[in-house]
Amino acid sequence: MKQTTFTLTLFLFFLFPFCIVGQGEKKDSLLRLISKATDDSVRINMLLKLSQELKTSQPKQALLYATQALKLSESISLKRGMAKSNYQIGEYYRLQEEFIKARGYYFKAFDLDKEITDTIGMSSAANYIGMMYANQGAYPEALKFYYVSLRLNEKMKDKASIAVSYNNIGNINDLLGEYDEALSFYFKSLQLKQAANNKTGVANTLNNIGEIYKKQGKYPEAMDYYLRSLELKKELKNKSGMANTLNNIGDVYVLKQEYKAALNYYNQSLLLLEELDDKDGKATVNDNIGALYFKMQQYVSAIEYLKTGLNLAIEIGSTEEQRKAYMSLSDVYEKLGDYKQANEYIKKNALIKDSLLNDRNNKQISEMQAKYEYEKNKKEIAYLMKEQDLQKLAIYNGRMLSLSAFIGFVMLLIIVIVYINGYRQKRRANQLLIVQNADMRKQKDEKELLLKEIHHRVKNNLQIINSLLRLQSHQIEDKRALVMFEECQNRILSMAIIHEKLYRSEDLANIDTKNYIETLAASLIRSYRTDMEVELEVNCTVSSVGIDTLMPLGLILNELISNSLKYAFTGRDEGKIKIGLNKKYNGEFEMTVEDNGIGLPADFSWEDSVTLGIELIKTLVEQVDGTIEKMEGPGTSFKICFQDITK
């Protein structure tokens, strides 16, 4: 487990001439002062102080006071008060894990701080905006705002905050699998924290460095940094941090297949977490111990710990830990031969969505980092130019003039030599060019052949999987399970057709869209072997889209056409399915899927439905940056508007 540190900035307008120990007494004192205060700015400051004091113990009261401070600030147009009030409201929603709302208020605070040039406020707001994006899995956006916070901290020369920014940027690179980049920022953070004698920060960063080395398979290095982190945490009596690092050390021993040592460290971690009643940590460590007992073939103990971890994960709403527990329990029950129970846990796992990254994110991050370095270098150069001594510059210019004259003479001599030998060189170059062109054509042909072979093999492998599923389905008596197998076969078929089309296409980047839709729909009609006559009409004006778009599009079509074939024509001898695909004037694509069947039930709600097919359609529509809506009319009709996301 990684340890994360974030900058906290308290917004105060004035110092208060009192010191109160208990939170209740402090609240009463502030309320008395607020009631007596005649200056609005003082009242705003006290309301914000009160909101800050109560944000963890009485969050709703804290929100109320921050909202009052915001309204009062707006009434007197006090931008500083408005900025800090929005920040405090953002804090409330952050602690409630309503990250989108929190991010909106942090943005307002950032914009107001920018207007009044409050660099500290801007840095803190940018840092929390980055945190909100990170919690939602929007890592490129998170990284962008962490860099904004870093630039502001560098401007203030606040080394402690710079160290935090380095750590945060390292965390995002870790999540993206950019381990070398993550290590670079962690070591920068470590250096600043060591210089400031920030033992807590040093301990956390040592732990993070150990995490990276573990992921890189460098176990001795990982163990070294974990143990250094553990010693500091023991010195600081940081039980939560000790539990985290003990768990990480256990992970290393698991990877080294030293299971008894791993169990020892996991148990030490769990004891500390029990003392702290840290349900999140207990869920993780129980899952780890359960998975370890599975490796040791002690299945009863594995189930006990995995179910304990699962119950804790459900209680705190940790979907990631639930997913891990479901998969591990499925593996255990499969080993025990209880396939029904194993299948149930697989189904539960399928309902939990995983956050995925793609190549576009990595590209955006590289561009962001490059831009930051470029801007930083420009500022350094400008600073050096301003500091340049004029006399030294004149001497430098004189030397450059002499050097230029010498270079000019040398260049003239080279031109003469080149001119004399020009014909011979040109002839030799032409011959070489002919050879190179021939080699390039050969390489191009070989590359295209190789790509076609890859698509052919992918198609063959998908068909093999399809055949295995078909063979397996012959042994299934449960009709519901059999339907699930057939639906899986159809989804695999929709992908296999794409690779088949690419294999036979002259243009490996694009596929004839209309031909693909017709082939897919016809295959589905045949696969369902309906007794009725189903007419298919395809109106497609789009010649081609890229494979990154066509793959999810094919799966969407698979789900919608399958639903029509299964439900739309019940009790009828014939039916019609109509598919349209067109490009709109704004560059967006529009696809319609219609049937003239009996229509959806009157109580059907697209938003409330939780079937696997509809969840899959929603996910695939999001993947192509699209929207889907049910259209009115006879039968069932859907319209999907989407973008071509192919890079």
Q: Report yes or no on 638 lying in a domain.
A: yes
CA–CA separation, 66 and 44 (whole Å):
9
Among residues 48, 128, 54, the alpha carbon closest in space to that of 80 is found at 48
pLDDT of residue 31: 61
State the residue for tokens 């080294």. Answer: 256
pLDDT of residue 122: 93
Q: Report yes or no on 575 lying in a domain.
A: yes
pLDDT band at 18 (very low <50, low <70, confident <90, very high): very low
Boundary of a domain, candidates 86, 117, 148: 117
pLDDT band at 50 (very low <50, low <70, confident <90, very high): confident
pLDDT of residue 380: 44
And the tokens for 479? 């009709």
Share of the chain above pLDDT 90, in %: 33
Q: Give the tens place of pLDDT for each residue, 172-181.
A: 998 888 899 9
Answer whether residue 386 shows pLDDT above 50. no
pLDDT of residue 396: 52
Answer whether residue 17 shows pLDDT above 50. no
pTM reported for the whole predicted model? 0.51
- Please count the residues of the chain: 647
CATH code for the domain of 74: 1.25.40.10
Q: 162-172 as b/e, with b when 16 or more CB fall inside 10 Å?
A: bbbbbbbbbbb
Q: Report yes or no on 392 lying in a domain.
A: no
Q: Give the tens place of pLDDT for each residue, 117-139.
A: 999 999 999 999 999 988 888 88
Q: Lowest-pLDDT range, 394-403, 534-543, 615-624?
A: 394-403
The more confident residue out of 487 and 72 is 72
Q: Report yes or no on 548 lying in a domain.
A: yes
State the residue for tokens 């009160």. Answer: 50
CATH code for the domain of 552: 3.30.565.10
Q: Please give the helix or strand (H or E) that residue 62 lies within, else none.
A: helix 59-75
pLDDT band at 357 (very low <50, low <70, confident <90, very high): very low
Answer whether residue 20 shows pLDDT above 50. no
**Which residues, 6 or more positions from 90, have their beta carbon under 8 angstroms from its beta carbon?**
102, 103, 104, 105, 106, 109, 125, 128
pLDDT of residue 19: 37
Tell me what the mean pLDDT of segment 417-438 comes to. 71
Boundary of a domain, candidates 93, 117, 141: 117
pLDDT of residue 219: 92
pLDDT of residue 109: 93
Q: Give the tens place of pLDDT for each residue, 559-606.
A: 888 888 888 887 788 888 999 999 887 778 999 999 988 888 777 776
99-115 and 79-95 helices, crossing angle to 10°: 160
Answer whether residue 353 shows pLDDT above 80. no
State the residue for tokens 């070989």. Answer: 446
Residue 185 near residue 168, CB atoms below 8 Å? no
Q: Report yes or no on 626 lying in a domain.
A: yes
Q: What is the 3-state secondary structure (H, E, C) of 533-588?
A: EEEEEEEECCCEEEHHHHHHHHHHHHHHHHHHHHHHCCCCCEEEEEEEEEECCCCC
| Counted domains in the chain | 2
Boundary of a domain, candidates 79, 102, 117: 117
Answer whether residue 440 shows pLDDT above 80. no
Residue 54 near residue 65, CB atoms below 8 Å? yes
Q: Give the tens place of pLDDT for each residue, 612-629.
A: 778 888 888 888 888 888
Q: What is the 3-state secondary structure (H, E, C) of 201-212?
A: HHHHHHHHHHHH
pLDDT band at 525 (very low <50, low <70, confident <90, very high): confident
pLDDT of residue 647: 59
Q: Report yes or no on 389 lying in a domain.
A: no
Answer whether residue 465 shows pLDDT above 90. no
At position 419, the amino acid (one-letter code) is Y
Q: What angle do CA 528, 531, 536 make, to 5 degrees?
A: 65
Whole-number mean pLDDT of the chain? 78
Q: Report yes or no on 419 lying in a domain.
A: no
pLDDT of residue 137: 80
Q: Report yes or no on 479 lying in a domain.
A: no
Domain that holds residue 609: 533-647
